[in-house]
């Protein structure tokens, strides 16, 4: 979303903008690397269109998906950073003979690049967690929604609406993928919506330093 992009753009030096498929792509550098950033928008279709447009026009070696997610247990609290070592769908079912969460022709779990997940900068901070992020086309705000997702993926740590679709595009196009998200709220809590709304005012910009650490460490 636009609020997320505003946290990211200050990290980019020599910033310029190119528009493709009505999507603004922000190019420049973070550290020694050439980067292209985009605001994919909310939901799986927007994310997939954006990811494919980026891959076909900028030919990245690595796609990093960053943004916010809701906490789903596993010890990740508000403003904690979750590295999506694994990413999956929670709202996909392709019919009899298949399992909930399995996209046709794809593995059950998409994985972030293990060498990046293992970077010391992502493992020596107690506010950075590692786990499973699950995606679906719903803003998860109720405890029963979290419980349904856990019935499909019991070890889910965070939920969002884009990561799995970006990971699937990367898988199909043979591009390396990495996912890191910041917890904005805890679905099922009495003040879930207030948590989400207040996050944008309370979240310091250094929350996105995890992304900068990754890019400058690889």
Q: Domain-by-domain residue ranges, the chain?
A: 62-217
Is 197 part of the annotated catalytic residue set?
no
Q: Is the pLDDT of residue 194 over 60?
A: no
Q: What is the pLDDT of residues 114-172, one digit of tens each?
A: 999 999 999 998 989 999 999 999 888 788 888 899 999 999 999 999 999 999 999 99
What pLDDT was estimated at residue 154?
A: 94
CATH architecture of 62-217: 3-Layer(aba) Sandwich (3.40)
Q: Where are the alpha helices (DSSP H) in 134-186?
A: 143-152, 163-172
Q: What is the pLDDT of residues 69-111, one digit of tens each?
A: 888 877 888 888 999 999 999 999 899 888 888 999 999 999 9
CA angle 39, 44, 48 (to 5 degrees): 65
Residue in 85, 145, 162, 185 annotated catalytic: 185
Mean predicted lDDT score pLDDT of the chain: 88
What pLDDT was estimated at residue 131?
A: 95
Give every CB contact of residue 161 below 8 A, 6+ residues apart in sequence: 42, 43, 44, 47, 135, 136, 137, 138, 139
Structure tokens at 1: 């979303």
Q: Which residues pair with 133 in a beta bridge?
A: 87, 158
Is 4 part of the annotated catalytic residue set?
yes
Residue in 4, 85, 160, 162 annotated catalytic: 4
Of the pLDDT bands very low, low, confident and very high (cuts 50, 70, 90), residue 4 is: confident
- Give me the residue label for tokens 């059950």: 108
User: How far apart (Å, rounded) are the C-alpha atoms in residues 153 and 133?
Assistant: 10
What pLDDT was estimated at residue 204?
A: 46
What pLDDT was estimated at residue 200?
A: 60
Q: What is the pLDDT of residues 43-70, one digit of tens each?
A: 999 999 999 999 999 999 999 998 888 8
Residue from 165, 176, 93, 175 nearest 135 by CA? 165
Q: Quote the radius of gyration of the chain (alpha carbons, Å).
A: 16
């Amino acid at each position: 979303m636009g609020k997320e992009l505003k946290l990211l753009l200050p990290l980019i030096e020599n910033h310029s903008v190119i528009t493709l498929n009505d999507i603004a792509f922000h190019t420049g550098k973070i550290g020694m690397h050439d980067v292209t950033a985009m605001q994919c928008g909310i939901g799986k279709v927007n994310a997939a269109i954006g990811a494919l447009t980026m891959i076909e026009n900028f030919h990245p070696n690595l796609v990093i998906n960053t943004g916010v997610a809701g906490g789903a247990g596993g010890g990740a609290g508000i403003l904690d950073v979750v590295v999506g070592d694994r990413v999956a769908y929670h709202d996909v079912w392709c019919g009899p003979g298949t399992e909930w969460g399995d996209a046709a022709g794809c593995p059950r779990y998409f994985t972030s690049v293990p060498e990046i997940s293992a970077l010391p900068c992502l493992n020596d901070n107690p506010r950075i967690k590692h786990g499973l992020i699950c995606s679906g086309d719903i803003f998860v705000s109720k405890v029963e929604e979290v419980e349904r997702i856990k019935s499909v993926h019991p070890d889910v740590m965070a939920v969002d609406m884009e990561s799995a679709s970006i990971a699937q595009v990367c898988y199909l196009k043979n591009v390396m993928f990495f996912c890191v998200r910041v917890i904005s709220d805890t679905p099922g809590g009495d003040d879930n919506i207030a948590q989400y709304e207040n996050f944008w005012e309370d979240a310091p910009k250094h929350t996105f330093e995890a992304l900068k650490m990754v890019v400058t460490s690889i």
